[in-house]
Amino acid sequence: QAHLVESGGGLVQPGGSLRLSCAASGFTLDSSVIGWFRQVPGKEREFAAAISYTGDIPHYADSVKGRFTISRDNAKRMVFLQMDSLKPEDTGVYYCAGTGRRVLPSPHLKDYEYWGQGTQVTVSS
φ/ψ of residue 102, rounded to 5:
-130, 155
* End-to-end Cα separation, the chain, in angstroms: 40
Closest of 14, 2, 99 to residue 53, by C-alpha: 99
What does the pLDDT read at residue 41? 86
One-letter amino acid at 55 equals G
Stretches where the chain sits below pLDDT 70 are none
